Structure 1
Amino acid sequence: MFQLKNVTRQFGKKIAVNSVTFDIPQGQMVGIIGRSGAGKSTLLRMINRLNDVSSGSIHFGDLEVSSLRGAALRRWQRDCAMIFQQFNLVPRLDVLTNVLLGRLNHRSTVLSILNMFTREERIMAIGALERLGIEQTALQPAGTLSGGQQQRVAIARALMQQPKMLLADEPIASLDPLNAKIVMDALRDINERDGITVVTNLHTLDTARNYCERIIGMAHGRVVFDGQPRDLTAAAVAEIYGGGAQIEESMTSTSISIPAAQDNQKSAGVKPLALAGL
């Protein structure tokens, strides 16, 4: 069980996250939605400990994540992998090396400096790329890949950490609809096949409905909704995004007119968006 207890993060006089409390059972896929500035990214960065909490506590089982320092903190950041909107790859390095960098927290400092990866680690990296359908890019510089391919490389790198939890901060915000669907399909596959807890910030309602078994809505740093997709009513959406917000759920990143997407959207009650010439 993963737990946040009255977690607050303050930057000067600004409260970015305000007394947030919730539990996440192992193996759940959770989508966090809300307007820009609602506190979503800050929340994920505190979970990964890229930001410290101002008050409150974060726990993973018996481990108090919010108090970790030194080697214990590095182990947590290995076990809690993070995927970013801007990929955070090294553009001049080839794809395979970028993926292998996910092993750094499993290795000694000396081996990391010498870039000495084992044959088993290289096989593992190729397997991660094959799983994500981009093994043919292994020797290309990462900077030559499309955005969707780069995000899949970032996911492969995260898999190399063998994490217990996977955080994704707006992983599809800069992607076209087809690549966004591929990336979300990959995250769902990791969640379902490997049993890894996935928590992802999303800016599109249909994506949260279609992919996440639980949705948390944030507004002004607080949690204002926590429930299943079917509970996300018009009134709940208005509370998350503001009463005057006009939300057109079909105009979103993963609504594309291919059969699989249409089937998912029909089951969720969401109208698909046809994109000519995709």
Structure 2
Amino acid sequence: MLELTNVTRRFGANTAVDAVTVSIPQGQMVGVIGRSGAGKSTLLRMINRLIDPSDGSISFGDKQVSAIKGRELRDWQRDCAMIFQQFNLVPRLDVLTNVLLGRLNHRNTILNLLNIFSAEERAQALMALERLGIEQTALQRAGTLSGGQQQRVAIARALMQSPKVILADEPIASLDPLNAKIVMDSLKDINERDGITVVTNLHTLDTARTYCERVIGMFHGKVVFDGPASDLTSDAVKMIYGSTAENEISEAITSTSIKESSETEKAPAMSLASAEIASPA
């Protein structure tokens, strides 16, 4: 169980995350939605301890995540893998080596300094790439791949950490609809087949409904919605995005689905702030 209790993060006078309390059972796939600046990315970065909470506590099982330091913190960041919007690969290194970097916190420092990986680790990395359908890119430089391929490499690297939790910070925000679907299908497959908890920030409402059994909506740093995707009604969306009747937009515009134009034209209108939803956080 991943538990956040009254978690707050302040940046000077600005409160980015405001007294958030949520419990996420092991094996759940959770989508976090909200406008740009709602606190979604800050929340995930606190869970991974890339930044520290100003107040409150974060725990995973019997581990007080918000209090650990040193080796314990490195172990947590191994068990809680982070996938970023901009991939965070090393462009000049080949794909296989980028994936192998996910093993660094499992190995001793000397092997890491010498960049020595075992045959078993290399086979494991190739299996991760094969699972994501990009094993043919193993010897290419990561910087030569498309955005969708790079994101799949980042997911393969996360798998190499043997994580208990995967945090995905806007993993499809910069991808076209086809690659967005491939990436979300991959995360869902990992969640269902491996039982790994997945928490992902999303802008697209149809993606949250399609892939996430639970949706957390944030507005001005607070959780204003927490429930099954089936309860994500128009009224709930208006509350999450702070939208008004004057800002009507078709939800199809934020869609990652690949649809025929006739279907898109029939999509229901919903009151949302278009600029906030369409642009990355």
Coarse TM-score class (shorter-chain normalised): over 0.9
* Contact 2:126/2:135 (<8 A) preserved: yes
Sequence identity of aligned pairs in percent?
75
Say how many residue pairs are matched.
263
* Contact 1:16/1:42 (<8 A) preserved: yes
Structure 2 unaligned residues grouped into runs of 5+: 269-281
Corresponding residue to 1:250 among 230, 249, 252: 252
How far is the alpha carbon of 1:234 from its aligned partner? 1.1
**Alignment-derived partner of residue 275 in structure 1:** none
Structure 2-normalised TM-score? 0.91
Q: CA RMSD in A?
A: 1.6
Range moving further from structure 2, 47-56 or 226-235 = 226-235
**Alignment-derived partner of residue 230 in structure 1:** 230
CA distance in 1, matches of 2:102, 2:248: 41
CA distance in 2, matches of 1:246, 1:16: 27
How far is the alpha carbon of 1:249 from its aligned partner? 2.0
- Alpha carbons of structure 1 residues 110 and 253: separation in structure 2 relative to 1, 3 Å: farther
**Alignment-derived partner of residue 76 in structure 1:** 76
* Contact 1:29/1:188 (<8 A) preserved: yes
Counterpart amino acid of 2:160? M
Could you give the per-residue CA deviations for residues 58-79 of structure 1, whole angstroms, max 9, x where no partner exists? 0101110000100000000000
Counterpart amino acid of 2:259? S
Structure 1-normalised TM-score? 0.92
* Contact 2:205/2:255 (<8 A) preserved: no
Task: Please give the secondary structure, in 1, of the residue aligned with 2:120.
Answer: helix
**Alignment-derived partner of residue 135 in structure 2:** 135
* Contact 1:176/1:253 (<8 A) preserved: no
* Contact 1:82/1:169 (<8 A) preserved: yes
**Alignment-derived partner of residue 2 in structure 1:** 2
Q: Does 2:124 align with 1:124?
A: yes
Aligned positions of 1:50-65 closer than 5 A:
50-65=50-65
Q: Which runs of 4+ in 1 moved over 4 A?
A: none
CA distance in 1, matches of 2:154, 2:233: 34
Structure 1 unaligned residues grouped into runs of 5+: 272-278
CA distance in 2, matches of 1:143, 1:211: 29
Range moving further from structure 2, 239-248 or 20-29 = 239-248
Could you give the per-residue CA deviations for residues 92-138 of structure 1, whole angstroms, max 9, x where no partner exists? 00000000000000011111010000110000000000000000000
How far is the alpha carbon of 1:243 from its aligned partner? 2.9
CA distance in 2, matches of 1:125, 1:247: 43
Could you give the per-residue CA deviations for residues 12-35 of structure 1, whole angstroms, max 9, x where no partner exists? 110000000010000000000000
**Alignment-derived partner of residue 154 in structure 2:** 154
**Alignment-derived partner of residue 216 in structure 1:** 216
CA distance in 1, matches of 2:224, 2:77: 28
* Contact 1:167/1:199 (<8 A) preserved: yes
